[in-house]
Amino acid sequence: EPEVTQTPSHQVTQMGQEVILRCVPISNHLYFYWYRQILGQKVEFLVSFYNNEISEKSEIFDDQFSVERPDGSNFTLKIRSTKLEDSAMYFCASSEEGPSRRSPLHFGNGTRLTVT
């Protein structure tokens, strides 16, 4: 069964550094998402992406975050200047259609980001 893949599985970075988290969504999916989960807390929506542009974003997704689909397969999340509080598990997800059409999210295994 096709799956969403994320790399790396664990990333350690120093405060103030830029990080890029990478995701390869399922190939026939058109909607892409990033979520994060701070340890012990709930999963929080960051951003959704469709047709090469952001369709929705949350308050968490401020100017230090950006997303890009640089080619036909990858979907990346960039954090420009990491802060300690950015330490979390970041999940990429994709869906075949928009969630309004009842297609569920397929999540990747996550990238654990540790900011020191």
Partner 1 sequence: AQTVTQSQPEMSVQEAETVTLSCTYDTSESDYYLFWYKQPPSRQMILVIRQEAYKQQNATENRFSVNFQKAAKSFSLKISDSQLGDAAMYFCAYIRRGTNQFYFGTGTSLTVIP
Contact (Cβ atoms closer than 8 angstroms) between residue 1 and residue 102: no
CA–CA separation, 95 vs 9, rounded Å? Answer: 21
Is 16 a binding residue for partner 1 by CB under 8 A? The answer is no
Both tokens of 88, joined, read: 């979390």
CA–CA separation, 88 vs 11, rounded Å? Answer: 10
- Tokens 């397969």 correspond to 73
**Between 5 and 13, CB nearer to partner 1:** 5
Q: Kindly tell me the number of DSSP H helices and DSSP E strands found in the chain.
A: 0, 11
Is 109 a binding residue for partner 1 by CB under 8 A? The answer is yes
Site for partner 1 in 49-108 (CB under 8 A): 50, 55-56, 58, 89, 91, 93, 98-100, 102, 104-108
CA–CA separation, 116 vs 113, rounded Å? Answer: 10
**How many residues make contact with partner 1 (CB under 8 A)?**
28
Is 45 a binding residue for partner 1 by CB under 8 A? The answer is yes
Q: Measured from the CB of residue 34, what is the shortest distance to partner 1 in angstroms?
A: 12
**Between 55 and 81, CB nearer to partner 1:** 55
Residues in contact with partner 1 by CB under 8 A are 31, 33, 35, 41-45, 48, 50, 55-56, 58, 89, 91, 93, 98-100, 102, 104-110, 112
